[in-house]
Amino acid sequence: MGETKAVYFDKPGPDNTRTTLELGRERADALGIEDIVVASYTGRTGVLASEVFKGLNVVVVGGVYGFEEVNTVAMLPENRSRIEHNGAKILHTGHAFGMMGRAVKNKFGAIQVDEIVANVLRLLSQGVKVGCEITCMAADAGLIKAGAEVIAIAGSARGADSAIVIRASNTHNFFESRMLEIICKPRG
């Protein structure tokens, strides 16, 4: 059994993005992990990730069409272009922990099981929760393989401040996922 370090940031947020990506790259190299999944709505973090992880299978998860405005996404066209130019893939799809549950809650006010799972994962951090979620979303889309070890990177609203090593699963088999390591996350 080897030792690894975990980094805990004093505060969440985008100021941690570059360090989070670099720590993720170090761990990917050390473990021989080829699959990287990164949350990025506007594409800013996705551009940085596509540079830091160039040559690996990078999946930038940009959220669902129509979340903020019908038939649109928040990803800026210039960021999309740079991400694709760097060889990364972009995925726009519904949140694994919330689309239908959110619809039921909005219509009827009932809490759904996916919200409970999401809130339990938020006990670690918002980015850890999103990292688990985007890994399922990428596996559901066939962009990574269920069962593979993946570096998942996400954050708290903007930028990246959390990175984990996770054994991927599809959403319908979520409890077969395994969070193997926390690379970094905000302490608070």
Q: What is the pLDDT along the chain (188 residues), one digit of tens a residue?
A: 678 999 999 999 999 999 999 999 999 999 999 999 999 999 999 999 999 999 999 999 998 877 777 788 889 999 999 999 999 999 998 888 877 677 777 888 887 888 889 889 999 999 999 999 999 999 999 999 999 999 999 999 889 999 999 999 999 999 999 999 999 999 97
Angle of the 113-121 helix axis to the 99-108 helix axis, nearest 10: 120
Cβ 152 vs Cβ 164: under 8 Å: yes
3-class secondary structure, 140: helix
pLDDT per position as a tens digit, 154-168: 999 889 999 999 999
Cα angle for residues 79, 168, 54 (degrees, 5° grid): 35
Separation between Cα atoms, residue 107 and residue 95, nearest integer Å: 18
Q: What angle do CA 151, 153, 159 make, to 5 degrees?
A: 160
Parse the chain into domains and list their residue ranges: 12-186
Paired with 35 in beta bridges are 57, 150
CATH 3.30.43.10 fits 12-186, yes or no: no
**Residue 84 CA from chain centroid, whole number:** 18
163, β-bridge pairs: 153, 184
